[in-house]
Structures are given as structure tokens and as C-alpha cells.
Amino acid sequence: MNYRNLYDEIIAGLPDDVRIDDYAVGRPWTYMRSGGLVGICMTIPAYTRPRLRKESFLGCSLREAGEYVRSLQGQ
């Protein structure tokens, strides 16, 4: 399995009806909250291409946000 297939499998398991309620991007961590769920990850401070999404991720579904993560992986 290559990493692109891994992203596809993870995204397929994300619910489309669960929305992002809050998030913050900082150094070195980024966090996201959706209802009673919270996720964190390391922030990579590299800007090698234009932003794909100009608007906020507030209200965005977890699946849609996952699609943006996958698009950063070269798809």
C-alpha cells in the first residue's frame, strides 16, 4: 500500500455530516475540535505553494478537510 491509498482509506472513513467547530493553527501545534472530539498535529511551517482554500475551515466537514490534506500530498 502506498501513502496515497492510506489517505484514501482514512478519508473514506470520515463522516461527512460532522463539522469543524473550532481550530487553531500555531507553532508547533495545530488543533481542531468537532463536538466532543479534539485532534492535534504538528504544524509544518512551510509555504511552497498557494493556499488551496481561502476561507475558514469552520463549519467544514471532516471529510472535506481530509480532502485538502490529501491534496497537499501531491494528488
Q: Which of 21-50 are b and which e, b meaning 16 or more Cβ less than 10 Å from the residue's Cβ?
A: eebeeeeeeeebebeeeeeeeeeeeeeeee
pLDDT one-digit tens code per residue, 7-59: 889 899 988 899 999 999 888 999 999 989 999 999 877 766 677 788 999 99
Torsion over CA: 39, 9, 51, 59 (sign):
negative
Give domain 3-71's CATH architecture.
2-Layer Sandwich (3.30)
Domain ranges, ordered by start, for the chain: 3-71
Is residue 58 within 8 Å of residue 6, measured between CB atoms?
Answer: no
Mean predicted confidence (pLDDT) in 63-72: 82
Higher pLDDT, 5 or 64: 64
pTM: predicted TM-score of the whole model, two decimal places: 0.75
